[in-house]
A and B are shown apart, each in its own frame.
Chain A
Amino acid sequence: MSELTDLSVAEAAAKIAAGEISADEYDSAWRAAAASDELNAYLWTAEHGGEGEPDWTGDGESAPEGEGEATPYGANPPAPADSGPLAGVPIAIKDIFTTQGIPTTAGSRILEGYRPPYTATAVNKLTAAGARVLGKTNMDEFAMGSSNENSGYGPVLNPWDRGRVPGGSSGGSAAAVAGGLAPAALGTDTGGSIRQPAALCGIVGLKPTYGAISRFGMIAFASSLDQCGPLTRDVTDAALLLSVMQGKDPRDSTSVGIEGGIELPSGVDLKGLRFGVPRELGDAALDAGVRTVFEATVARIEELGGEITEIGLPHAEHGISAYYVIAPAEASSNLARYDGVRYGKRAGGDGDLLEMYEATRSEGFGPEVKRRIMLGTYALSSGYYDAYYGQAQKVRTRIAQDFDTAFEAVDFVITPTSPSVAFGLGEKTADPMSMYLNDFFTVPMSLAGIPAIAIPAGLAAPEGAGEGAPRLPVGFQIAAPAFAEQKLLEAAHALEGALGFAAAVGDAAPWKGGSRG
């Protein structure tokens, strides 16, 4: 393992800017690492996929430069490698972000071979800050899943234990960062898709406030919940990427940005900060090992001067129900455009229109996507709207109100990120509902649109594992009021320092090459 790849993004960017290391050396070190992917974390890499010049027409033709400002598709002139806060830093991009001329599939066979004519705003902001696209990462199809087993291109393996899942839907991004295949990655979070895989892979995952980062070019799953965010090795890198990507975007009516921007956190203690532990946590289904790590972390917070109080989130228990109505409903509409007419897969083209539609969508979508399209279509269909979609939106209101009330008494709400550590491949695929319950702790924040960060807090053996069974990462979630990202990052930074997870794991960390085949 080269030293270059041991550097955090913030460190590397600083050294490159200072001329201590060369951007190209750093870049090629990561390209080599990405090329050695054995986790199926990448669907496309700059190394194997060529430079990925914007290829509009399929025959190597590039987009005209300079119109980047005027239109969404004019090629943006690349920033000089030695300028900008991310000068020369290669970043792995979840395959849900459009990248002009670079294959983009959202993990679905229905978009196999599709090369978008434009690039997502979040990605443009990264490259404008000097970053480079290292590769496109594997994911659950259209971000629907919590294990990455729903990818149309095969599951991603957890770098800590390749017999286990990395979580999802940003499983490729999480595995790439944890597995030492990328210094940092972009993910998206609709109900936990950044935080849960970050937790299962022992890295940091940040879901910003809804509207903090533009959704333009982020392939829609559930438009009112989707939010993009970073998966990184530490809190500082998460802050760095957020600072570059946040902002209002004229191409996204629902984007807001973060007033005052984001600075790199320096917090070292938690004096005077109040942390709320949901009363309901007591009887939540939670692995013993996860509960132990959570309680130990709460103790650390108090040692750092933080104050722990009990709060109530009475409606949070209905979060999953509301979420699994709202998200599929919006998805059923968002995924209707994949119809075999303008791009992507077409099947059954020799029959009539209906036959083509049904063949294309039935062959192009995987089982979980079909399940959610069916669920959402049903929830919106006449006679059921009020009972399902209408009611779910009211539950959403209540959940948001619960958080408002809580934040009158505390600065943060803390929970485990996931009820369990990484589970085995195939362990939960048979029962959709048990899979959905993985999002129990992450969904309420998504419904309320508030920011939440997952940081690695320790290791625990899987539930029911025998003595001396290998231990796996456990995540700790901190949620804050809307647009309080800076405050959230300061607290997470202080706690991260006290927990010293990376140091504790040492060379056993997969990014140090220590992973179990």
Chain B
Amino acid sequence: MIDREQVLHVARLARLRLGEAEVETMAGELSGILGHVDRIANLDLEGVEPTSHVVQLENVLRADEPWTSLPPRVALASAPEPYEGAFRAPSPQADVD
């Protein structure tokens, strides 16, 4: 089952912030679901090929031909913070001085 620490670790990986209460609920709910899911853990599937895809296609490729890209103003139209033709985002570490 999954404990508080694991929940916090996974939340960090997923870039989700959980409140104190949420962490507890999440731990409980995930444990419940995993409890059900764990039934497949002890099935003997030695040597069974995993299926990551049902379509049996190969080599579906694209010719190397340029197309007209979006006008920059369109590319930036839905940006939360367009800035001089670029997408602005906070820095990894805000240098608070």
Give me the interface of A with B, judged by CB distance under 8 Å.
56-58, 61, 63, 67, 70-71, 73-74, 114-115, 117, 210-211, 224, 250, 253-254, 256, 318, 320-322, 324-325, 332, 336, 339-346, 349-359, 361-362, 365, 370-371, 373-375, 377-378, 381, 387-388, 390-398, 400, 431-433, 436, 448-449, 482
Q: Which residue of B lies closest to A373 (CB)?
A: B14
Give me the interface of B with A, judged by CB distance under 8 Å.
2, 6-7, 9-11, 13-18, 26, 29-30, 32-34, 36-41, 43, 45, 48-55, 57, 60, 62, 67-68, 70-71, 73-75, 77-81, 87, 89-94
- Among all A-B residue pairs, the 8 with the closest Cβ atoms: A449-B54, A393-B50, A346-B80, A343-B78, A352-B94, A358-B17, A394-B45, A357-B15
- Which among A325, A394, A436 has the greatest number of chain B C-beta atoms within 10 A? A394
A373 close to B16 (CB less than 8 A): yes
Q: Which residue of A lies closest to B59 (CB)?
A: A253
B17 close to A352 (CB less than 8 A): no
B54 close to A358 (CB less than 8 A): no
* Distance of B79 from chain A, by nearest CB (Å): 6
B70 close to A374 (CB less than 8 A): no
Given A391-B45, A396-B51: A349 touches B36 (CB 8 Å cut-off): no
Residues of A within 8 A of B54 (CB): 210-211, 224, 400, 448-449, 482
Given contacts A57-B74, A71-B68, A352-B92, 13 further A-B pairs with CB under 8 A are A56-B73, A57-B73, A224-B52, A254-B60, A325-B37, A354-B92, A362-B18, A371-B30, A374-B7, A375-B34, A377-B10, A394-B49, A395-B40
Q: Which residue of A lies closest to B79 (CB)?
A: A342
A436 close to B17 (CB less than 8 A): no
A342 close to B30 (CB less than 8 A): no
Q: List 30 A-B contacts (CB under 8 A).
A: A57-B77, A58-B77, A61-B74, A63-B74, A71-B68, A115-B77, A115-B78, A117-B75, A211-B54, A318-B39, A321-B40, A322-B40, A339-B15, A341-B87, A345-B80, A352-B90, A353-B93, A356-B90, A365-B16, A371-B30, A374-B30, A375-B34, A387-B41, A391-B41, A394-B43, A397-B50, A400-B54, A433-B32, A436-B33, A449-B55
Q: Which residue of A lies closest to B69 (CB)?
A: A71
B2 close to A117 (CB less than 8 A): no
* Distance of A446 from chain B, by nearest CB (Å): 10
Residues of B within 8 A of A67 (CB): 68
The CA-CA distance from A351 to B17 in the complex, in Å, is 14
- A250: contacting residue among B37, B40, B62, B94, CB under 8 A: B62
B77 close to A117 (CB less than 8 A): yes
A353 close to B33 (CB less than 8 A): no
Residues of A within 8 A of B15 (CB): 336, 339, 354, 357-358, 361
Q: Helix, strand, loop or mixed for chain B's interface?
A: loop
- Which among B34, B49, B78 has the greatest number of chain A C-beta atoms within 10 A? B78
The CA-CA distance from A296 to B16 in the complex, in Å, is 49
Given A253-B60, A322-B40: A400 touches B51 (CB 8 Å cut-off): yes
A324 close to B79 (CB less than 8 A): no
Given A115-B78, A371-B26: A324 touches B50 (CB 8 Å cut-off): no
Residues of A within 8 A of B77 (CB): 56-58, 115, 117
* Distance of A191 from chain B, by nearest CB (Å): 14
The CA-CA distance from A71 to B7 in the complex, in Å, is 42
B80 close to A344 (CB less than 8 A): yes
* Distance of A343 from chain B, by nearest CB (Å): 4
* Distance of B68 from chain A, by nearest CB (Å): 6
The CA-CA distance from A362 to B23 in the complex, in Å, is 13
The CA-CA distance from A387 to B53 in the complex, in Å, is 19
- B17: contacting residue among A211, A362, A375, A392, CB under 8 A: A362
Residues of A within 8 A of B34 (CB): 375, 378
A393 close to B16 (CB less than 8 A): no
A71 close to B16 (CB less than 8 A): no
Given A58-B77, A224-B52, A349-B80: A378 touches B10 (CB 8 Å cut-off): yes
- Which among A341, A355, A374 has the greatest number of chain B C-beta atoms within 10 A? A374
Residues of B within 8 A of A432 (CB): 29, 32-33
The CA-CA distance from A115 to B38 in the complex, in Å, is 41
Residues of A within 8 A of B60 (CB): 253-254
Given A211-B55, A345-B80, A352-B90: A374 touches B36 (CB 8 Å cut-off): no
Given A67-B68, A373-B14, A432-B29: A395 touches B45 (CB 8 Å cut-off): yes
B14 close to A56 (CB less than 8 A): no
B50 close to A390 (CB less than 8 A): yes
Given A351-B94, A433-B36: A394 touches B14 (CB 8 Å cut-off): no
Residues of B within 8 A of A354 (CB): 15, 92
B90 close to A353 (CB less than 8 A): yes
* Distance of A138 from chain B, by nearest CB (Å): 21
B67 close to A71 (CB less than 8 A): yes
The CA-CA distance from A253 to B80 in the complex, in Å, is 31
The CA-CA distance from A339 to B36 in the complex, in Å, is 31
- B74: contacting residue among A117, A210, A332, CB under 8 A: A117
- A353: contacting residue among B13, B39, B91, CB under 8 A: B91
The CA-CA distance from A365 to B15 in the complex, in Å, is 11
A398 close to B80 (CB less than 8 A): no
The CA-CA distance from A115 to B45 in the complex, in Å, is 46
